[in-house]
Structure 1
Amino acid sequence: MRLLLIRHGQTPSNLKALLDTAEPGPGLTPLGEEQAAALPAALAGESIGALYASTLVRAQLTAAPLAAATGLEVRVRAGIRELAAGDLEMLGDEQSIETYLTTAFAWAKGETALRIPGGESGEEALARYDAVVAEAASTGADTVAMISHGAAIRTWAAARAGNVDAEFAARHSLGNTGVVTLSGHPDDWRVLRWESHDFGASGPTGETVGPGNG
């Protein structure tokens, strides 16, 4: 199966660099709406057979143009929502962001018992994401697109793909509507491409990922 993990479009909280992870969350900025509208053309070469979005509003708004273009129903699932910030919710200071990301990337290294202060553990976060990916694999679709969230995508891909690791994910951010493309099945995933930037007017830029990129 080909799995496209797509970050949502830009939100007001993104502009302020806030850890905004609670439901239902904000909508999209005008730029975020443009980014979402650009996705169908950017992904026109993909034969998407199933489309998922998280329970956060921004993910569903980002999925809407793709759903309209493909005729697919958006399957809304809580399991692919952003990593819960807990006590760090709506903070944007350097220390809070470092604590959040350091904990998330530690999960990708296998330290899944760690917990974001007041939030979830790595075991909980990865298990809920795994469940939705397993459901997607059971649909029989050759290509599945999931509109999800930056930290969740980077952490899950680093934890589950055999050719990238936590250090790679930490070095490679994921812009709004950036895409991480994987191939495989729930027991064996490989990242094919990491599109760090959005599908805006300048087009995406990314990195083809090979065995030595971990």
Structure 2
Amino acid sequence: MRLLLIRHGQTPSNVGHLLDTTAPGPGLTELGEQQAAALPERLADEKIDALYASTLVRTQLTAAPLAQARGLEVVIRDGIREIAAGDLEMRGDAASNDQYQRVAFSWPAGKPELRMPGGENGVEMLARYDAVIEEIAVSGVAAAAVVSHGAAIRTWSAARAHNLDADWAIAHPLPNTAVVVLEGTPATGWTAVTWSDLELPRTEPQPGR
């Protein structure tokens, strides 16, 4: 299966560097709307059989132009929402953002038991994301697009793709509407093909990945 993980378009909270993770969340800025409108043309060469978005408004608004262009229904699932910021919610200072990323990226680095202050741990976050990807896989579609969130995409991809790790995810932030393309299945594992248009080297699956 080919899986396209798409970060949502720009929001006011992105502009303010705020840790804004609760539903329903903000809508898109004017630039974010333009980014969403550009997705159908950007993905014109991609086969997409199913389209998913999280329970946050910004992903659904981002998915809407693609859904209209492809004649697809947007399936809404809570499991692909952003990593809950917990006690750090709506903070925009550098220390809070650093702490959020430090905890999130510790999960694919082998410490999924660590918990976001007042929020979820990696076991919980990866399990909810896995459940949605499993649902997509068992539906039998050949290709699916999932409009999700930057930290969630980076963390899940680093934890599940054979050829990615936490260091890669830390060093490569995803701009709004960036796409991570993976191929595989939950049973056989995943290989990242591209990361925000950057082609990735493919490696053999590693034990436990």
Fold match (TM-score > 0.5): yes
For 2:198, which of 175, 190, 207 is the aligned residue? 207
Q: Secondary structure at the match of 1:133?
A: helix
Q: Match for residue 60 of structure 1?
A: 60
**Structure 2: distance between partners of 1:134 and 1:175:** 26
**Structure 2: distance between partners of 1:169 and 1:192:** 14
How many equivalent pairs are there?
203
**Structure 2: distance between partners of 1:77 and 1:169:** 24
**Structure 1: distance between partners of 2:11 and 2:59:** 10
Q: Report the residue type matching 2:194 in the other structure.
A: R
Q: Match for residue 121 of structure 2?
A: 121
5 Å-filtered alignment, 1:193-204, equals 193-195=194-196
Deviation digits for residues 78-100 of structure 1 (CA, Å, limit 9, x no counterpart): 00000000000000111101110
Q: Alpha-carbon deviation of 1:61?
A: 0.3
- Write out the 4+ residue segments of structure 1 that deviate beyond 6 Å after TM superposition: none
5 Å-filtered alignment, 1:18-97, equals 18-97=18-97
Q: Report the residue type matching 1:118 in the other structure.
A: G
Q: Report the residue type matching 1:192 in the other structure.
A: V
Q: Report the residue type matching 1:103 in the other structure.
A: V
The two structures, once aligned, show a CA RMSD in angstroms of 1.1
Q: Does 1:105 align with 2:96?
A: no
* Unmatched segments (≥5 aa) in structure 2: 204-209
Q: Identity of aligned pairs, percent?
A: 62
Deviation digits for residues 95-123 of structure 1 (CA, Å, limit 9, x no counterpart): 10111001111001121110000000100
**Structure 2: distance between partners of 1:182 and 1:53:** 17
Q: Decide whether the 8 Å contact of 2:193 with 2:202 is kept in 1.
A: no
Q: Report the residue type matching 1:73 in the other structure.
A: E
Q: Alpha-carbon deviation of 1:211?
A: 3.6
Q: Report the residue type matching 1:209 in the other structure.
A: L
Q: Secondary structure at the match of 1:168?
A: helix
Deviation digits for residues 34-57 of structure 1 (CA, Å, limit 9, x no counterpart): 000000010011110000000000
Q: Decide whether the 8 Å contact of 2:192 with 2:202 is kept in 1.
A: no
TM-score, scaled to structure 2: 0.95
